[in-house]
């Protein structure tokens, strides 16, 4: 019988600024298996990163940074390891980590997490009632808009936070977990530069988005 190792938030160690000061493709791949931790009031939430996308600089037409620096995207041009939160489709927020040294734009979009802690709070934030089944757990943090809603991440509150610091309330750390197998695909939901293989997922993980996420 399989014994699932209990997730222990106390064993999660924040990633360094240097971790993010690299090419977004490198950062994206290495973020798989790491843990996003959310402290909000008394709520403690955490999820393992199972799906991310890399967004590059001026040469990447799909990246918000492609058009140059604007008030909205300035975090992408700033220091590495900061949260870039943007509002999309009139309804949702999406969370990114800024990459590359200060002055050079790049980022990684968080597309899906495997919920580890604070599942009840996340269900409440998502407006899900009743018992959490294996099926409905997927609705908590699978999808970039969903994971932000589950963790109450908004631009007003959470943009430009230093995600190497637990006191930021939103931070990323490692607990020793290593993905067995990583798959790379094209990015989701974009029209420009859609052909590049810049989406990274933990192969076979149940919390990867999309119908094929479950069979990869």
Contact residues toward DNA (CB under 7 A) are 53, 55, 62-65, 67, 70-73, 76, 84, 86-92, 94, 96, 107, 109, 111, 126, 139, 143-147, 155, 187-192, 209, 211
Residue whose CB is less far from DNA, 101 or 166: 101
In DSSP terms, 53 is beta-bridged to 109, 199
Residue whose CB is less far from DNA, 184 or 188: 188
In DSSP terms, 117 is beta-bridged to 46
Residue whose CB is less far from DNA, 16 or 70: 70
User: For residue 174, how far is the Cα from the chain centroid?
Assistant: 14
Residue whose CB is less far from DNA, 175 or 213: 213
Q: Shortest approach of DNA to residue 10 CB, angstroms?
A: 29
Rounded CA-CA distance 214/118 in Å is 23
Q: Shortest approach of DNA to residue 109 CB, angstroms?
A: 3
Q: Shortest approach of DNA to residue 84 CB, angstroms?
A: 7
User: Which residues are within 8 A (CB) of 47 and not within 5 positions of it... i.e. 6 or more apart?
Assistant: 35, 36, 113, 114, 115, 116, 117, 141, 147, 150, 151
Residue whose CB is less far from DNA, 17 or 139: 139
Upper half-sphere CA count for residue 209 (Cβ side, 13 Å): 23
Compute how many other C-beta atoms are within 10 angstroms of the C-beta atom of residue 145.
15
Classified as helix, coil or strand, 150 is helix
User: For residue 2, how far is the Cα from the chain centroid?
Assistant: 28
Q: Shortest approach of DNA to residue 2 CB, angstroms?
A: 24
Q: Shortest approach of DNA to residue 72 CB, angstroms?
A: 4
């Amino acid at each position: 019988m399989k014994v699932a190792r209990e997730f222990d938030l106390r064993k999660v160690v924040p990633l360094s600024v240097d971790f993010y000061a690299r090419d977004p493709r490198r950062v994206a791949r290495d973020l798989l298996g790491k843990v996003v931790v959310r402290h909000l009031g008394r709520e403690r939430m955490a999820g393992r990163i199972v799906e991310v996308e890399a967004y590059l600089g001026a040469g990447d037409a799909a990246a918000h940074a492609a058009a140059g620096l604007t008030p909205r995207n300035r975090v992408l041009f700033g220091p590495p390891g900061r949260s870039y939160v943007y509002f999309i489709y009139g309804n949702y927020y999406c969370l990114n980590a800024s990459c590359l040294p200060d002055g050079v734009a790049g980022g990684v979009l968080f597309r899906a997490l495997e919920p580890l802690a604070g599942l009840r709070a996340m269900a409440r934030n998502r407006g899900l009632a009743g018992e959490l089944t294996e099926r409905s757990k997927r609705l908590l943090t699978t999808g970039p808009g969903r994971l932000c809603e589950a963790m109450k991440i908004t631009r007003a509150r959470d943009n430009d936070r230093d995600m190497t610091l637990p006191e930021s309330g939103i931070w990323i750390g490692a607990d020793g977990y290593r993905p067995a197998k990583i798959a790379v695909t094209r990015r989701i939901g974009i029209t420009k530069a859609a052909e590049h293989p810049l989406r990274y997922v933990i192969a076979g993980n149940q919390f990867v988005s999309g119908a094929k996420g479950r069979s990869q």
